[in-house]
Amino acid sequence: MPTKSISPLLLPDSPRLLDRVRACLRLASLGRRTETAYVSWIRRYILFHGKRHPAAMGRAEVEAFLTHLAVARRVGASTQNQAQSALLFLYGKVLKVELPWLANVVRARVPSRRPTVLSESEVQRLLAEIRDPELGLIVGLLYGSGLRLGEALDLRLMDVDLEGMQLRIRGAKGDKDRMAILPQSLAELLRGRTAWCCALHATEYRRGRGAVPLPGRAGTEAGKTFLLGWQYVFPAPGFSVDAESGEICRGHVDCRRVQRAVKAAALRAGIAAPVSPHTLRHSFATHLIEQGYDIRTVQELLGHSEVSTTMIYIHALNSGERPVRSPLDEFDGDLLREPAASGYLVAA
């Protein structure tokens, strides 16, 4: 449904559309990943319709694009929903146009299959096959604390509470903060890891380096800081240039390294089921419920907004609330090795 008036975005002196989208997303305090995804979907929507300006399009074009994703591209329901959310944000928050109800969209089918869950013995075999100690500690947190991969890689030094045996998860899915359990069996490894990170930062700071990007959009100028507490627990081996600000910062370990390590470890462990880092989060939740922990407790630990999301993991009866012990601490022996000092720690 084309608009009848000329959008301010079409005026010669108006900001570019995608820049306006980014500005609105940041004003809404949405995360970097959400911003990247929304901008990507809006760009694909514009290209799909021959680079027509969204202000000159409306419900029919949105329905055509979303139907194309489901029918021709065969995307999943969650992917289609994300694309729809991006377009609704574009029209509602940026263009200030409320779209009528999208009644003619062919919806992607919601899969009914359950998530892959490893047995406790399979988790032990998988962890034993992680050959890089640094990656082994990350994978241990995925299972031992029930973290998403991005949550583990985003951990800052100030988020590790070794006294309270907790991890603070910042800006997780839905831009929510929560506290996760820190397994006793990983406490000393994390203590050594944080000490190593402090030494790395001290060395880099003396050389005028060591800035890291701040989460979200608040903070110091250009969104970076040299403060120790904001340093990543799992820093990248080198520096990179921020695509937006052009600032040189140190990011965190590449998620693809962890993904490849988990798949390779599963293959060496002889696990037939398809395994990804997220499989360990599924296994964390399922094993807690099997041990008798209350579904509401598991919901809080996972950071789910609705208990219905957590209900998929029910395989045993609830037994009421009690202090939570990480399933990783049920294993015998030390499965994970002390991370060696990485080669990129420059001597002072």
Q: Is 201 known to be catalytic? A: no
Considering the candidates 193, 224, 281, 282, report the single residue annotated as catalytic.
Answer: 281
Pairing outcome for strands 212-213 and 224-225: antiparallel
Q: For this structure, is 278 an active site residue? A: yes
Question: Does residue 304 have an active-site annotation?
Answer: yes
Active site (annotated) includes residue 224: no
Cα distance between residue 45 and residue 63, in whole Å: 11
The residue from 49, 52, 173, 325 that is catalytic is 173
Candidates 22, 148, 201, 224; catalytic one: 148
* Residue 96 a catalytic site member: no
Active-site option among 193, 224, 250, 304: 304
Among the listed residues 68, 170, 268, 278, the single catalytic one is 278
Is 281 tagged catalytic? yes
Give which of 140, 148, 116 is closest to 302, Cα–Cα: 148
Q: Which residues are catalytic?
A: 148, 173, 278, 281, 304, 313
